[in-house]
Every structure is written in C-alpha cells, then in structure tokens.
C-alpha cells in the first residue's frame, strides 16, 4: 500500500518534490499569497498544451504523407489539364501567330512592291530611274498599256546594265499606273505569240501595245543606244562597223555611250494610246529613196504612218492628213499626179498637205516639175555650195557641199520646233527651191530654211564647158519652201492646202536626224507638227549616259577599308555574340 501511494504522488506532480507530511507542516498552513505565486511559477514552466497538440498533429500528418503509398496514375485523367501541356500549347500558339504574321507581312510587302517601286537607284546618273516628267505623265494615261519583252526577264537582267535598264523602266512605269503591265515572252516555248503580229518577231524587242486602240509599236532594244565620238558626231548602234573603223584607223575615241530607252518607250505609249492620231501616207512606185529615218521620227512622235503604191490605188485614202513623196528618181504618171491634185483640192475644201522631198540626183521629172510650178515652186537642177568659210564644212576633201543652214525664225515652223542648244541644221548636196512668186491670187509662198548669208553658189548638175563661178554668182538660196492655197470657210475662217518642198532627201537621213549636234531631226518634225493637229504633251527626257567612270583610291583609304572588313566588323560580330551568350546564361 505504501508503495502504491508513493507512485501516485510522483505521477501527479512529477516536477515538484514534496516533503513527507509531518505533524508540524499540517498544523502550520501555507499562506495564500505564497500558494498563488507557486502556481503561477508552475504554469510558466509547463508547456502550452494547445500548441504542443498542434505541432504533434502536423508532424503526424507529414509522417502519414511520407508513408502514404504513391497512387498509380489513372488512364482516364485529362491530359489537357497538365501544366506542362498548357505551357507547351501556349508556346506553339504564339509561334504559329508569329509565323502567320511574318507570312502576312511578306504578302503585303510583295503586293506593295508589285504596285509601287520600293527600290532606291544608287547608280551614277540614276541609270534605272525615270525622269520627273515621265513620272508625272504615266499616271495620267487612261489606257491599258502592255509591255511585251521577247526575252526572259532573267536573260535581260543578266545581259548587263542596258538590259537591266529597260526592264526597270517598264516595271517602274507599271508601278505608277495600275493599267500597265509587263510580260516576258519566250518565242521558242510560246510560238503562238508571234501570230498576233504581222512582223516577224525576234529576241531583243519590246512591244508596246494599247488595249484601247489595239495599236502597237515594236522597239528594238539595241536601237536605244547611241555613241558620241571625239569628232563631235553621234552614231547609232547600227553604225557599229563605222564606229570601229573610225576608232581603229582614225584615232577617234568614245566620248559617251547614251541610252534613249525612256524617251522611246514614252513616245511609244503616246503613239499607241492616241485615239485620233495624225495619219501620214508615203507614196511609192517611182523609185523613191529610203524614208526609214523620217518614218521613225514620225512614229516616235505619235504619228500613224502608212505606205501606198500610188499606181495600185484608185484614190488616196481620205483619212490621210499629210502625204509624202520622198526622193522620187522617176517621173510620176499623169494619172498619179491627178490623184494627188484631187486629194489636195479636197473638193475645194482644202485642209490637206503634201511634203515633197527632192532627190539630190539629176532625175528627169517633167511631170512633177510642172505640177510644182502651178503652186509657185521650182526645184533647181543642181545643188547649193557655201562659199563663206564661217558656214562651209569639208566632206571627203570637198569644201562647201556640206554646210550650215539657217532656219528662218519668224515662222510657225521655227516657233513649233523643239530646239537644241548649240545644234544647227546641216545641208548636204542640197538643191535650191526657188519661189516663182510671193503671192498670186489665193496662192502664196514662204521661205522656211535657206543657206546662210549671201555667199552661196548654185552648182548645176551639167555645167557648160569651162563654167567657173564668179563673184557675181554669189547669192542666197532657199532650200525648204512652203507653197499654199487658201479658201475661206463660211467666208471668215481661212483653210489651207499646202506643199512643203525640201531640196534634198539627204537632209533627213539617219546620219543627220539622229545626231545630237544637228537639228535636222527637229526641223523634219516641225514640218509635220506645224501642219497638223498632232498636239501632245511635251515631255523633256534626258538621255542616260553609260560612260564608264573611274575612281582613284589612296593607299591610306585602301588600308582603312581593309581593316574595316577584316578586323572591325568581325570583332564587332564576336563581341555582340558574347554579349548575347552571357545575357542568355543569366536568364
């Protein structure tokens, strides 16, 4: 019993040692204040039972979690709720959006590039850029214009600077006007294309065609080129053999190589898109001389050119506005002259014009001579020589047969002429055109071009034996003259029919009309412009020069350029790579 009681006492108060109860202790009770203090001390020393219980519970939960067996993944769990899947799917979506945005931007830029030129021409002289006047004109063209190249685009670009230039011009024009388009045709793989045209097509051509009028112009790329030599003359690509001879045997050098591609392409657009062009008809059948140079001038300036063998037609077509007889070496028949006279009369209404260009040869043409006399004109049987050293030129050792000519300034012809600075008209074996009267009834004559000064000579085709020119033979001679007949429509408005007589077809050969230092081409054009309604926008286009330019570079400049590409740029790339690598490592 005593042992059991001892055990109970130790259990009830494990931290407080109690002394055995004695009679003295029992009799002397502890004061109340001491008892309270003792209880507070015991309470302070005992742990908080609630906190202890919470800690025990948390520890048990952790232990249970650790000991808890891992559950096997169920095959029916939704994989789309997995965090990794969500993050991966979001990355894929963003990647697809980014790729789609790049594709969309690329498509938009491609469409913009097809419609607008986004390239910058950094070439010397801007070889591949259109002139400001061309860029202002092209958007105003209200027609479907088609450019057909008879070459693959890649072949033209690979052919060099000139091939690239014509491609750039066509595509830049197309970018300025949504009604323009450019197509490249391989004549071997697409033989049916040639069937659309009367001419035999060949590589190196550009066809400019109107969708409204269906008219077209065929341009030869090589014809755009011209060459200026140190003799001061300009030559076309067709004169390549002559150019080579002059440079090889005479020591001339090439001053410049120019391109008229832009000018001719714009002229072709004007010509084919004009709804009511002036029609010029050339008559043939009597040994007429080559008129291709004059025809080219006219077609380049929006005239519609036709050719008729006069003996094979009953009447000259009524839609002809200007008729041309170019260097006949045989006389016209009476019937042919009647057709011309009736056409000029136009049933008394007038309003028609004939350009008669004589041959420099001693041709026997009495019928034509008589016809011209009725209009107050006579072409002399010989040619004009210039005796004034200031205006005479030497040709093949002969002095005076080649000379400067004076264009009379107080005429509409001069006022309408597209003038060039420091360019003069050249006469070459030119015959005089004599005026038989100034005025006669409803007829009148007027000088357009003459030899310079009063020191010109007339050299007959068949001079008398012993003939020698003297001082008294010196005079002034006309070489281009206008003769006109007038009637008054409604009694008030004058209406004219005219004959413009030119003293030699050599005035309008390519050697003179294509040369930039001669104004023969401009004079030829004004003879037609001043007698027609062929009014078109005057666009001044500067030729592009392909003359090579050399640049000298100092040794110091070469050194710095070498260091830049061999050291500085590679070092900058390496440093940039290191910076990117370090920053990515810290992410």
CATH number at residue 453: 3.40.50
pLDDT of residue 112: 63
17 versus 403: the higher-pLDDT residue is: 403
Instruction: Label residue 79 by pLDDT band (50, 70, 90).
Output: low
- Position 8 scores a pLDDT of 45
Residue of higher predicted confidence among 321 and 256: 321
Is the model's pLDDT at 507 over the cut of 90? yes
**pLDDT exceeds 50 at position 19:** no
Confidence band (pLDDT; 50, 70, 90) for 65?
low
Is residue 280 within 8 Å of residue 306, measured between CB atoms? yes
**Where residue 281 falls among pLDDT bands split at 50, 70, 90?**
very high
> Could you say which DSSP state residue 494 is in?
E
Q: Is the pLDDT of residue 194 over 60?
A: yes
The band of 153, judged by pLDDT with boundaries at 50, 70 and 90, is very high
Does residue 27 belong to any structural domain of this protein?
Answer: no
Per-residue pLDDT band for 550 (boundaries 50, 70, 90) equals very low
Mean pLDDT of all residues in 375-398: 88
Structure token digits, residue 472: 């008294």
Choice among 25-34, 240-249, 322-331 with the minimum mean pLDDT: 25-34
Show which of 275, 297, 328 is a domain's final residue: 275
Q: Tell whether 97 is covered by a domain.
A: yes
Mean pLDDT of 410-424: 80
What is the CB neighbour count within 10 angstroms for residue 1?
Answer: 5
* Mean pLDDT across 55-59: 55
What is the C-alpha to C-alpha distance for residues 50 and 137, in angstroms, rounded to an integer? 98
Q: Which of 64-78, 88-102, 361-375 has the lowest mean pLDDT?
A: 64-78
Cα 294 from Cα 307, distance rounded (Å): 13
Closest CA to 404 of 447, 451, 436, 364: 451
Q: What are phi and psi of 422, to 5 degrees?
A: 55, 30
Interacting residues of 306 by C-beta distance below 8 A, sequence separation 6+: 279, 280, 281, 282, 317, 320
Asked whether residue 397 carries a pLDDT value surpassing 70, the answer given is no
Q: Has residue 76 been placed in a domain?
A: no
Are residues 136 and 106 part of one domain? no
Element of type H or E holding 158: helix 153-158
- Domain finish residue from 220, 249, 275: 275
d(CA 368, CA 502): 14
Q: Which residue has the higher pLDDT, 566 or 354?
A: 354
Same domain, 383 and 411: yes
**158 & 189 share domain:** yes
Measured CA angle at 285 (ends 281, 290), to 5 deg: 70
When pLDDT is averaged across residues 152-176 and rounded to a whole number, the result is: 89
pLDDT score for 430: 96
Which 3 state secondary structure label does DSSP give 537? coil
Check residue 165 and give its pLDDT: 87
Count of domains in the chain? 3
Of the two residues 223 and 427, the one the predictor is more confident about is 427
DSSP string of 117-132? ------STT-TTS--H
Task: Provide the pLDDT confidence category of residue 114 given band limits of 50, 70 and 90.
Answer: low
**Domain extent for 108:** 82-115
**Residues 243 and 308 grouped into a single domain:** no
Same domain? For 423 and 451 the reply is: yes
For residue 87, give Cα distances in angstroms to 76, 90, 94, 297: 21, 5, 11, 74
Tokens of 144: 């479907």
Residue 11 located in a structural domain: no
Check residue 12 and give its pLDDT: 45
Q: Is residue 576 part of a domain?
A: no
For residue 28, the model assigns a pLDDT of 46
pLDDT: is 325 or 232 the higher one? 325
Dihedral class, residue 453 (left if φ above 0, else alpha if ψ from -120 to 50, else beta) = left
Q: Which two tokens stand for residue 458?
A: 């007339």
Q: What are phi and psi of 263, to 5 degrees?
A: -60, -45
Give me the percent of the chain exceeding a pLDDT of 90: 43
Same domain membership, residue 132 and residue 107:
no
In this prediction, residue 566 carries a pLDDT of: 80
pLDDT at 366: 96
Average pLDDT on 9-13 reads 45
By percentage, how much of the chain surpasses pLDDT 70?
75
Pick the residue with more confidence: 222 or 519?
519
User: pLDDT band for position 398 (50/70/90)?
Assistant: low
Least confident of 108-117, 154-163, 326-335, 417-426: 108-117
Would you say residue 572 lies in a domain? no
Cβ burial, residue 401 (10 Å; 0-12/13-18/19+) = buried
pLDDT in tens, 404-414: 999 999 999 99
User: How far is it, in rounded angstroms, from Cα 45 to Cα 48?
Assistant: 9
Which pLDDT value is given to residue 394? 77
Domain final residue pick, 254, 275, 296: 275
In a domain, 401, yes or no: yes
What is the pLDDT, as a whole number, of residue 554?
61
Average pLDDT over residues 243-267: 85
- Give the bridge partners for 208, in sequence order: 147, 217
Q: What value does the mean pLDDT take over residues 454-470?
A: 87
The verdict on residue 556 lying in a domain is: no
310 and 271 in a common domain: no
pLDDT for the residue numbered 541: 54
Could you tell me if 476 and 534 lie in one domain? yes
Residue 478: predicted pLDDT:
97
Q: Which pLDDT score is estimated for 292?
A: 93
**Same domain (yes/no): 363, 318:** yes
Domain holding 169: CATH number?
3.40.30.10
Are both 245 and 342 inside the same structural domain? Answer: no
Q: Please report the pLDDT score of residue 41 as a whole number.
A: 54
Q: Do 371 and 328 have their domain in common? A: yes
* Nearest partner of 384 among 474, 463, 457, judged by Cα: 457
pTM above 0.75, yes or no: no
pLDDT of 479 strictly over 90:
yes
Q: Are residues 108 and 233 in the same domain?
A: no
Task: Look at 310 and 49; give whichever has higher pLDDT.
Answer: 310
379 forms bridges with which residues in the sheet?
Answer: 433
User: Is pLDDT of 475 > 90?
Assistant: yes
Write down the mean pLDDT value for the chain: 80
Question: What does the DSSP 8-state code read for residue 70?
Answer: P
């Amino acid at each position: 019993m005593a042992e059991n009681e001892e055990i109970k006492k130790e259990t009830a108060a494990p931290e407080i040692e109690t002394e055995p109860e004695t009679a003295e202790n029992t009799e002397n009770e502890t004061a109340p204040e001491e008892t309270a203090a003792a209880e507070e001390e015991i309470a302070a020393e005992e742990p908080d039972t609630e906190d202890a219980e919470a800690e025990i519970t948390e520890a048990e939960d952790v232990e249970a979690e650790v000991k808890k067996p891992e559950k096997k993944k169920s095959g029916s769990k939704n994989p789309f709720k997995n965090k990794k899947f969500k993050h991966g799917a979001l990355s894929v979506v963003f990647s697809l959006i980014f790729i789609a945005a790049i594709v969309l931007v690329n498509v938009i830029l491609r469409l913009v590039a097809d419609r607008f030129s986004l390239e910058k021409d950094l070439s010397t002289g801007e070889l591949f850029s259109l002139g400001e006047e061309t860029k202002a004109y092209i958007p105003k063209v209200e027609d479907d214009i088609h450019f057909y190249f008879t070459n693959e685009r890649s072949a033209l670009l690979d052919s060099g600077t000139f091939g690239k230039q014509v491609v750039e011009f066509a595509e830049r024009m197309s970018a300025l006007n949504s009604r323009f388009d450019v197509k490249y045709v391989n004549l071997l793989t697409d033989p049916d294309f040639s069937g659309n045209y009367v001419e035999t097509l060949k590589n190196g051509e550009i066809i400019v065609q109107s969708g409204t009028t269906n008219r077209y112009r065929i341009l030869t790329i090589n014809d755009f080129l011209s060459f200026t030599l140190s003799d001061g003359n300009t030559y076309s690509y067709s004169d390549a053999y002559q150019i080579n001879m002059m440079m090889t045997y005479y020591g001339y050098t090439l001053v410049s190589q120019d391109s008229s591609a832009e000018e001719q392409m714009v002229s072709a657009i004007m010509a084919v898109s004009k709804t009511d062009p002036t029609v010029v008809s050339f008559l043939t059948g009597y040994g007429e001389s080559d008129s291709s140079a004059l025809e080219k001038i006219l077609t380049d300036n929006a005239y519609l050119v036709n050719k008729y063998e006069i003996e094979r037609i009953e009447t000259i077509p009524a839609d002809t506005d200007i008729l041309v007889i170019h260097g006949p070496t045989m006389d016209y028949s009476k019937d042919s002259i009647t057709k011309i006279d009736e056409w000029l009369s136009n049933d008394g209404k007038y309003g028609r014009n004939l350009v008669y260009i004589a041959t420099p040869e001693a041709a026997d043409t009495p019928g034509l001579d008589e016809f011209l006399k009725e209009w107050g004109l006579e072409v002399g049987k010989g040619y004009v020589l210039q005796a004034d050293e200031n205006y005479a030129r030497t040709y093949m050792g002969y002095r005076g047969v080649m000379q400067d000519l004076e264009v009379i300034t107080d005429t509409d012809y001069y006022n309408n002429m597209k003038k060039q600075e420091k360019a003069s008209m050249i006469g070459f074996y030119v015959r005089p055109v004599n005026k038989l009267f100034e005025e006669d009834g409803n007829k009148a004559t007027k000088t357009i071009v003459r030899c310079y000064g009063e020191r010109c000579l007339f050299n007959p085709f068949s001079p008398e034996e012993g003939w020698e020119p003297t001082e008294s033979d010196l005079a002034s001679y006309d070489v281009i003259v206008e003769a006109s007949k007038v009637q008054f429509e409604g009694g008030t408005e004058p209406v004219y029919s005219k004959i413009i007589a030119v003293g030699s077809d050599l005035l309008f050969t390519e050697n003179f009309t294509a040369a930039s230092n001669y104004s023969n081409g401009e004079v030829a054009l004004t003879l037609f412009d001043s007698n027609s309604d062929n009014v078109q926008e005057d666009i001044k286009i500067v030729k592009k020069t392909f003359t090579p330019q050399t640049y000298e570079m100092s040794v110091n400049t070469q050194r710095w350029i070498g260091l830049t590409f061999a050291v500085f740029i590679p070092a900058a790339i390496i440093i940039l790579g290191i910076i990117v690598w370090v920053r990515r490592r810290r992410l």
